[in-house]
Structure formats: C-alpha cells, structure tokens
Structure 1
C-alpha cells in the first residue's frame, strides 16, 4: 500500500495526536479543548491562516500552494459521544460518560497528517481549506458551518470527507455516486388518556393500548405505503409509560427514527406517520401530540467528484481495495449539508476487525491514519496540480 513516505514518517507523531484527543473527548459544539489542541498543532505544522470560532468551536485553516488556483475543502468532524468507554486502553477517556466511540479523533488526526505533509511540500496550486467541524453527532455542526458562510468566505469549490469503517478490510475505500447515506428524521409522540386502577380498565382511557396500536400500524408505512423498490426505515426506538403493575397511567410516549433517501418518500413518511397517529388517537379516545423533526438530509455524492476520489483511492490502496459502487446505507451524516453547498464526495475507509461504531469498546485503529492522510494529500495534489514547466 503506497502510503507516502513522508506521511509514513509521521506515524508515531500522529498516534500521539490521536491518543491525546481520545483521552479528552468533548461533545457537540463544546469542543473548546479539542479546538485549542488542533490549533496548537496547526501552528506547529505551519499553515498560513487559522480561522477559529466558526460554529462555536469549528476551525478552518488555509494552506497556500504554489501559484494561483482553486480552493479544495477537506473536512474532519471532531466531537465525541455520550458513552462510557470500556476499551481499557492506556489512552482511554479521562472524562466519565464521554468517549470517541465513532473515531472522530482519528478523522482529525488524518486531516492533521495531511496538513503537515501539504504545508511542507506545497506541491499543488491554489489553496486547501482544512475544515475541523464540531457537532456531527448532535447539533448539525456541518449545517451551521455552511450557514456561517465557510464555502463562500474561503472560496471552496469542492469538498471531501472520510469516515472510518470498522470490520471493513484494512485500507479499503468504499463509496458510491449519488445517495450514500440517508436522511434522518425523528418523531416524538405523547399520548394523554385517563388513568385509573388496573382492575377496572373500563373506567380508564388507556394510553398504552393506543401506543401499541399506533406502533404496529406505523410499520405499514414501509410495507403498504412505499414501493418495494424504494428505501425507507421506520423504527420505534423508545416507549415509556406507567409506574406500577396495578395502575393504568395517564400518559405514554414513544419515539421513532425515520430514514429515507428520496424527497417524495420522506414527505410520504411524515404525512402517513401523522395520519396514523391522529386516526388511532381518535379510535382509542386519547389525545396525541406529534413533534416531527426533520434532521440531516441524505448524503449525496456528486458523480464526477466521486469518480475522481475513487481514482485517487486506487492510487493509495490499489484496485482490489476500492469499491466505488457500494450499496448505500441508512446511517446519516451532516457532511450532507456541505455536499448540498458544493460538489464533492464522502468515502468510508476500512480499519479492519474491531468493535463497531458507537460501541463502548470501540477504538480507532491508529495504523490506518497514514492511509487516510495520504488519500487527502494525494487528492489535493491530483485535483490542483502544479502547472508543467
């Protein structure tokens, strides 16, 4: 695997960066110490500009190439998860209830490694904008950075990102043109009935029975309202009610996640969700309140940029370790907002066997960081080559 020799020489330094970040996780937009650490490394690396405080703790750093040209954006998310880590590694999280269980510490490290190489060599025209983004897991930091004008402010013409992929062969790049990841919506339903004694249910209006009926009927959105060739997931993930075995409660509530790719399917799912809840509420005699939140849009790769990124990936990992026509998946990612704003592509990078993403035993594989850094660096050099002569 042709990792750039210069980047291979950074491997131990990159491991140190990553393990420091892993031990000090921060959540959502509150990545103040993380941002300060990244800025220290960027000063050491010798980037030309550092712009901090975007989307609260986000950073854009600029490296100038040799001669005029466009600006390419490279993005890494930097927030952690509210999980109690169980890895037992020496660099385990020092903050109770927080952990880098999605590998964003590795994403930051890969981008810093690429930055170090690009700042030293500058074998490209134009500029590269290094985007360090907070709040991917919660809050939509990608959307906030776009709304705060990073694409226009820094003249970014195309943008790329990588996510690590445990249990995908080490060094394998996976992507596809068009939709890669789904839109994610969340619905909360609160039901109000009339409580009473469990021995006299006829004197009550039972919200639990109503909730069970609704939850079963909601599955018909996928099985009976959506074409079999469309992609849609409706999963009820929480249900809460009651306090004792002999009390029919006054209230119940449940929560669902809804995943789709096509706008018309997304609209249909919301309409049928509301209709089913409303109809069942009337049938069971309960009051129902629905809060339906439209979250991240689908992550849609641009065809030309995806083909280009896959070609670069083949240079790094070889033909056998690049799948550029992979199946799309129902997970979601707020890099979607950046791809709505500019052409670009998002790829997964295999890290080999290990605990899955968002698992308490997950730890990023440090050995793959030079592979990701090499991909980012070669992407810049290929996208914005120096003029011959």
Structure 2
C-alpha cells in the first residue's frame, strides 16, 4: 500500500474486493456484443457506491456510472472495455474462464476493475465540482463499440470535456508506465477480398474460371504494399490473416475464393491511401483473371492521439502518486478509444504487465492481468480526478 492524501488510497479490504471482482469477470468473459452479464456485474458492484446516475444499455451493453460534485464544472470521462476475446484460455489459475473459446487475454477484466476502484473512492468522496463518468464500453475488440456509444442519444447528457483511458502492455515490465503526446496507437482495418468466377468439374477445369491464381498473386502482392518497420507517417503494414478457395471436395474446380488482410498505418490519413491502394490492387488482379470482385471492410480502428492537455493532467497525477513514467511508444496495435478524440481532448497511458522476460504476450492463451496493477491504475485515475475537479 502507498498511503495517499485526498481520496486516492484504497484500503486493504478494498483491494480484496476488487481482486475478487476482477477474478469474477475473468471467470465469465463475454465476446463483443454479448457482454450483458459483464455489464450487470459492474453495474451491481458500483450501485453499492451510490452514484448519482447509472446508465445501462449504452451503445449496446455499455454502462456509464456518474458521480457529481456540489458545484458546477466540467465532466471527466474514464473509460474501460467490457468485452473478451475468442481465445481458449490455458492458464492454471483457479478463476480461469468457464466459457470454452472465450477469455480475457487482453486484460479488459483488469481495466474494468481499475475503474471500479475509482468508483469506490468516489462513492466516499465526490469531486468538489463537475462530474466524473466511469464508462464501461462494449465491443472494443471489433471496433464498433465506441461509435455505438457516441451515437447513442443517451450519451448526449454524458458528453465529456476530457477523456482518459489506460491499457496494459506486455511489452513493458510490470508496473512501468509510458505516456506521450501525439499518436500512440496505429490505425487499422480488416479488408475482405471476395473473388467469384465459375466452378466446374475437376476433370475439366478449363471450362470454369478459378480464383486460385488471383489468390496466389494477392498472397504476396497485398503484403508488398507495406513499407518500413519504423512507425512514422510513412509506416504501412499489410498482414494476410485468412484465405479460402473453393469447396471441400475433390470433384469440383473452384469458382469462389476469399482473402482477408489487416491494413495498418500510423494515422487515419495514411490508412485512406493504403486502403485505396489495396482496393485498386484487388480490382486489377480480379480483372486480369476474369473474376468478379467485392471488397468489404470490418474492424475499423482510428488511430489514438493523445491531446497535450490530457497528457499534462495524467503526468501530474503520475508524479503526485509517485509512479515513474517514460515517453516514446507508438503501439502497432489498435484501440477503439481513438474515436473519443472526436468529442473531447483525450489521452491513454500504458502500464506494463509483463511479469518475466519470457512471460506471455497480450492475446496469448496464457495471459492473465496482474492484480498488482489494480492499485496503481486506480490511484492514477483517482488523482487525475482530484487534479481536474477539486
């Protein structure tokens, strides 16, 4: 424990309760769009803190919990994610997932618990002015949740003046914090190239039009659109994630095929250029091979960009809580939090969750969010509340 003044300290029994909550959430993970039990669990936990408002069903299964000060002032939004991943957990912990093929291997269970810790503190001492909104966002992993929350009419009365978030990173040692201005998460989106020709009998393939050659070409030409390994304004990465051809039959020459790829750039502007290049390439190859082509997009993540004002607030909070921090990270991975910069200055800080040099990465079946980070994350956010609203 690190005793702190001004309402940022969690008692030992608070941490015990939060660890139990985190493990409950871990045991019952739910995929994007299906987080009804998770949403109910966090709403029930925070209802005991007697907030001024609880909004449920926000943008799907989202939950917002608000605490208001006595005086008027700005609204500070703190955001965490509700959803889990389609991953089969292989940890040996007693609270491992009870749902086959679903697990919290991104640490969203820990992020939610940090916000629940802030709720415990706000339940005992409101901010002097303004309002704090704890937002538990649905459907982060497939990049539809933030847009759905922002489009929900109920969000209008929750509209923030500043928005903060955190994410754990296994690329950082346990407890190390990184915070920087500017772009901190890359833009990305999924592209499905659907190719249709004409199937025929396998004994006479010349009578049909097969997508096989087109898929073979795109397997190399799509990744070739990438350039550079340093994450800067010219950074582009194309990763083929799936390819399918024809039916599972020996008697039919294929007439249908698909190739899926993830496009990644540092910024949204770079993504516009890359997606145009990928689309033109798919159309050109299809035309040359006599195929019909459809290009679809999914999992559209905007880049995350930390606003200087929000970063200044987080730096003050980290310094006052005695949490060391460095700068200089731009994550290749994407985050749905990027959409919130359209409505308010926003910033995300990263906290290390690697327990050992050979520990599992995020999205690995053996990853489990370290309970030690709950106290640190809660203290930083609680201090940011006091700095902004007291």
Match of 1:337 in 2: 339
Q: Quote the residue 1:350 is aligned against.
A: 352
Match of 2:32 among 28, 31, 44: 28
Alpha-carbon distance, 1:91 to partner: 0.5
Runs of 4+ in 1 over 6 A off after TM superposition: 197-200
48, 57, 68: which is aligned to 1:64?
Answer: 68
Structure 1 residue runs without a partner (length 5+) = none
Q: 1:301 to 1:191 in 2, by over 3 A?
A: same
**Aligned residue runs from structure 1 range 41-56, under 5 A:** 41-56=45-60
315 and 70 in structure 1: CA distance in 2 versus 1, 3 angstrom threshold: same
Q: TM-score, normalised by structure 2?
A: 0.90
Are 1:17 and 2:21 an aligned pair?
yes
C-alpha distance after superposition, 1:240-293 (max 9, x if no partner): 114357864222211011112334322221221121112112222222222234
Secondary structure in 2 aligned to 1:156? coil
Q: How many residues align?
A: 380
Contact 1:236 1:254 in 2 (8 A): yes
Return the match for 1:7 from 10, 21, 27: 10
Aligned residue number for residue 158 of structure 2: 154
Partner of 1:366: 371
Check whether the contact 1:151–1:341 (CA below 8 A) recurs between aligned residues: no
Q: Which residue of 1 aligns with 2:321?
A: 316
Q: Is the 8 A contact 2:311 2:347 kept in 1?
A: yes
1:168 maps to which of 164, 169, 172: 172
CA drift at 1:381: 0.3
TM-score, normalised to structure 1, is: 0.90
**C-alpha distance in structure 2 between counterparts of 1:238 and 1:97, whole Å:** 19
Seen in structure 2, the aligned counterparts of structure 1 residues 211 and 88 have a Cα distance that, compared at 3 Å, is same
Give the match for residue 240 of structure 1: 244
Structure 2 residue runs of 5 or longer lacking an equivalent are none
Q: Equivalent residue for 1:290?
A: 295
SS of 2:169's partner is strand
Deviations 1:118-159 (A, max 9, x none): 221335422111111111112521111111145531242111
Q: In 2, distance between residues paired with 1:61 and 1:231? A: 39
Q: What is the SS of the residue equivalent to 2:321? A: helix
For 1:329 and 1:139, how far apart are their aligned partners in 2?
Answer: 16
Separation (CA, whole Å) in 1 of partners of 2:227 and 2:207: 35
Q: Contact between 1:72 and 1:158, CA under 8 Å: does it hold in 2?
A: yes
**How far does residue 222 in structure 1 lie from its aligned partner after superposition?**
2.5
Q: 2:29 touches 2:97 (CA, 8 Å); kept in 1?
A: yes
Output the CA distance in 1 between the equivalents of 2:289 and 2:318.
56
Distance of 2:68 and 2:269 partners within structure 1: 43
Is the partner of 2:172 in helix, strand or coil? Answer: coil
Q: 2:213 maps to what in 1?
A: 209
Query: How far apart, CA to CA, are the structure 2 residues paired with 1:344 and 1:223?
Result: 29
